[in-house]
């Protein structure tokens, strides 16, 4: 995966195979000090870390973001590449982003572009059984829908600012087919209006499986 010329600048390289590289790493918390670990970079771009802060630490095969959070760093979602380091050949700490170790990760996992349009979505009230429209034109709107979708007992009264009640009439069926697609007002779903994950509709403070997988693979 890496040439001898590339690796000569590092200290603590354990394995360099055709499938992965394993190297000592760490993350420094200004208050608590260094948290050591072993970082593996795979040929497919995946990065995993085993924490070695103690012999029986359960944090193994975790993502760089999880490792930085385990070390007590905040904002790890955006800054893990600068928060996690490896040792240079002379024992100095080098942030990952300054090394060649991310070349496979960068080539494989590019941050998904923000979807220009998220089509409107509908959710049925658990109390009045009426379908309600959610307009996803910004990150706030996406989060309101995301939280409502995760709530099996969502009700009209849960809409922010109490702007909707169960007494309000449901949209007509002919109106529901219009969901904001820029290509066709009556589109049933296409690549222009259906999003499979972007930084508007996935959230690093959400613990659902969809968001966690998205954040880990950034």
What totals of helices (H) and strands (E) does the chain contain, helices first?
Answer: 7, 9
Give the dihedral sign, CA 143/149/150/152: positive
Q: Are residues 84 and 142 in the same domain?
A: no
Instruction: Calculate mean pLDDT across residues 180-209.
Output: 82
Angle at 125 between CA 120 and CA 128, to 5 degrees: 135
Please say whether the beta carbons of 17 and 30 come within 8 A.
Answer: no
Q: Are residues 138 and 210 in the same domain?
A: yes
Most confident of 40-44, 82-86, 137-141, 212-216: 82-86
Domain presence at residue 34: yes
Q: Is the pTM higher than 0.75?
A: no
Tell me the pLDDT of the chain averaged across its residues: 87
Is the pLDDT score of 63 beyond 60?
Answer: yes
Tally of structural domains, the chain:
2
Question: Residue 85: phi, psi to the nearest 5?
Answer: -135, 165
Domain presence at residue 115: no
Q: Are residues 91 and 128 in the same domain?
A: no
Model pLDDT, residue 151: 94
Domain limits at 68? 4-98
Please say whether the beta carbons of 123 and 148 come within 8 A.
Answer: yes
CA separation for the pair 18, 82 (Å, rounded) = 26
Q: Are residues 75 and 16 in the same domain?
A: yes
Q: Are residues 135 and 198 in the same domain?
A: yes
Top pLDDT among 38 and 14 is at: 38
Q: Are residues 211 and 151 in the same domain?
A: yes
Q: Are residues 150 and 74 in the same domain?
A: no
Per-residue model confidence as pLDDT tens digits over 110-163: 555 555 678 899 999 999 999 999 999 888 999 999 999 999 999 999 998 878
Model pLDDT, residue 217: 64
Domain presence at residue 103: no
Q: Are residues 73 and 128 in the same domain?
A: no
Per-residue model confidence as pLDDT tens digits over 18-60: 788 899 999 999 888 999 999 999 888 889 999 999 988 999 9
Q: Are residues 77 and 137 in the same domain?
A: no
Domain presence at residue 187: yes
Domain presence at residue 212: yes
Instruction: Calculate mean pLDDT across residues 48-75.
Output: 91
How many other CB atoms are there within 10 angstroms of residue 133's CB atom?
17
């Amino acid at each position: 995966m890496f040439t001898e010329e590339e690796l000569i600048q590092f200290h603590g390289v354990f394995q360099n195979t055709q499938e992965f590289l394993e190297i000592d790493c760490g993350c420094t918390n200004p208050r608590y000090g260094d948290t050591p670990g072993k970082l593996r970079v795979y040929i497919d771009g995946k990065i995993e870390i085993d924490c070695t802060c103690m012999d029986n630490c359960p944090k193994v095969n975790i993502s760089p973001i999880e490792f930085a959070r385990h070390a007590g760093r905040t904002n790890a979602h955006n800054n893990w590449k600068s928060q996690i380091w490896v040792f240079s050949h002379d024992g100095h700490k080098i942030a990952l982003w300054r090394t060649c170790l991310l070349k496979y990760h960068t080539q494989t996992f590019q941050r998904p572009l923000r979807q220009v349009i998220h089509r409107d979505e509908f959710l049925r009230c658990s109390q009045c059984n009426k379908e309600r429209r959610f307009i996803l034109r910004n990150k706030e709107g996406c989060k309101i829908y995301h939280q409502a979708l995760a709530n099996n007992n969502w009700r009209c009264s849960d809409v922010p600012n109490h702007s909707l009640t169960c007494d309000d009439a449901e949209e007509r069926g002919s109106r529901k087919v219009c969901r904001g697609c820029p290509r066709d007002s009556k589109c049933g779903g296409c690549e222009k209006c259906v999003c499979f994950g972007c930084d508007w509709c996935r959230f690093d403070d959400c613990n659902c499986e969809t968001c966690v997988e998205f954040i880990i693979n950034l």
